[in-house]
């Protein structure tokens, strides 16, 4: 017996169609909604698998989950793994440290990176915590993280005014200390 998608209400079908055409939703949800949409148009499992370059087993899995759970069935189920071992106090320590200016804690830099936070928390606070866990805690709290600092010393216009008011002064000799930049690509020959 061929596996088919169950009958859907107009509202549910509309949500599946929007999800299947979405450019902002996660790709796996868009793909799964595409499976449901293709099945609702009468396509069979082998044809859907070929169209979406998936295995027939995967297509069957998502059709069955949708048939039993609806749109919620298209989301990933919780995965197994070791639960977080840090306490609420440790998580609050990470957040408090990340929100405190490093120079206020006696650090020789003006902003935190995940690597700097990891070193500071492991050495100063004595708790073993990994960079990935710090990132997870900050994301769970809704904090966005900057991944790297910019080049200092070669700012122009409004950025100079902003940097002058910052806590750490811009090093005017930075470009000289950095040295000459090298080209990462070869120069192209000009056509005759």
Residue 153's pLDDT is 42
Model confidence pLDDT, tens digit, residues 89-118:
888 888 889 888 888 888 888 888 888 899
Residue 158: the pLDDT is: 41
Could you tell me the pTM of the whole model? 0.46
Going by pLDDT thresholds of 50, 70 and 90, the confidence category of residue 18 is very high
Q: What percent of the chain has pLDDT over 70?
A: 76
Contact assessment for residue 28 and residue 38, using Cβ atoms and an 8 Å cutoff: no
């Amino acid at each position: 017996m061929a596996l088919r998608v169950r009958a859907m209400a107009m509202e549910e079908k509309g949500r599946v169609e929007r999800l299947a055409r979405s450019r902002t939703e996660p790709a796996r949800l868009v793909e799964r909604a595409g499976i449901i949409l293709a099945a609702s148009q009468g396509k069979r499992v082998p044809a859907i698998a070929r169209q979406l370059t998936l295995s027939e087993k995967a297509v069957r899995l998502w059709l069955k989950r949708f048939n039993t759970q609806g749109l919620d069935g298209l989301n990933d189920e919780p995965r197994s793994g070791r639960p977080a071992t840090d306490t609420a106090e440790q998580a609050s320590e990470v957040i408090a440290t990340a929100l405190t200016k490093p120079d206020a804690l006696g650090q020789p830099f003006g902003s935190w990176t995940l690597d700097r936070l990891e070193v500071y928390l492991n050495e100063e606070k004595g708790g073993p915590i990994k960079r990935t866990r710090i990132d997870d805690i900050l994301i769970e709290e809704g904090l966005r993280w900057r991944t790297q600092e910019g080049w200092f010393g070669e700012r122009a216009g409004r950025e100079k005014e902003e940097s002058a008011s910052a806590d750490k002064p811009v090093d005017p000799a930075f470009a000289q200390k950095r040295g000459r930049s090298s080209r990462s690509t070869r120069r192209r020959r000009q056509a005759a």
